[in-house]
Amino acid sequence: MDIRMLGRDEMIREIGKRKEPALDIARALKRRPSNLTDYYYRELLKLSEKGYFFEMWMVINWIGAEAAPTRILEIGTRGGGSLIAMLKPYKDYAGVKAVCFDIWEEIVGSPRKVLSNMKYMGIPRDVVVFRSEDSKETVPKYLSEHTGEMFDYVLVDGGHDHKTADTDLRNVEERVAPGGFLVFDDLVSYSLLAEWESFKKRNGDKFLYFEVMHRKGIAWAIRREG
């Protein structure tokens, strides 16, 4: 099954089946003493008990399980949970490279914590390349140094002010490979719908676009082939 060909409703139903795999990752990471300062794992588990549940990790885990992207770019890696949600379903990691951008506030995340969490979850640590500091500067610098590099999967979940979110989307939109995925979080919780709509307007029919405005609001786009 080519998941890129699914209609919106069927796609959302398929993503809904990733609830327990995503929660299993949250349960595992929550148990680690080194993650006690990160509220996100606890938050996911509490929310899962309160009716309808649709979260970014489910979308990411679905993409990982069904498409297994090998060329990955993440803006906003935090403690590595989203990256683990992507990579955990893989059968092998041959050819996988993830370039991760973050400011890295030690209380909730750092390259060291990401690597530790990956090791704990049985994911090879050598698939990751880290770039620290402000994504508005580090992402275009990296891309200028890697002309023509394209990505099968891009996450934009870094700074949540309007300027940063808009800049991050603009910086990566031309680097999503045909058939590739772009995920953008927090449309509702940080009022970033305007930035997403601008992304859609700029790119027109280059992508297929999907949104679920539940809780924080999650959006994703699939680059059309050709």
Query: How is the chain split into domains, by residue range?
Result: 3-223
Calculated CA dihedral for residues 113, 189, 223, 81, nearest 10 degrees:
20
Reported confidence tier of residue 107, pLDDT bands at 50, 70, 90: low
Mean pLDDT to the nearest integer, 162-168: 96
Higher pLDDT, 82 or 105: 82
- Write the pLDDT tens digit of every residue in 46-68: 999 988 999 999 999 999 999 99
Which stretches does DSSP call E strand in 33-110? 71-75, 97-102
Mean pLDDT to the nearest integer, 153-170: 96
CATH superfamily entry for domain 3-223: Vaccinia Virus protein VP39 (3.40.50.150)
Report pLDDT for 108.
Answer: 65
CA 14 to each of CA 52, 54, 173: distance values in angstroms, whole numbers, following the listed order: 15, 11, 25
Calculated CA dihedral for residues 30, 214, 207, 160, nearest 10 degrees:
-60
Tokens linked to 217: 């609001």
Reported confidence tier of residue 106, pLDDT bands at 50, 70, 90: low
pLDDT mean across residues, the chain: 94
Distance (Å, rounded) from C-alpha 97 to C-alpha 71?
A: 5
Mean pLDDT to the nearest integer, 186-196: 93
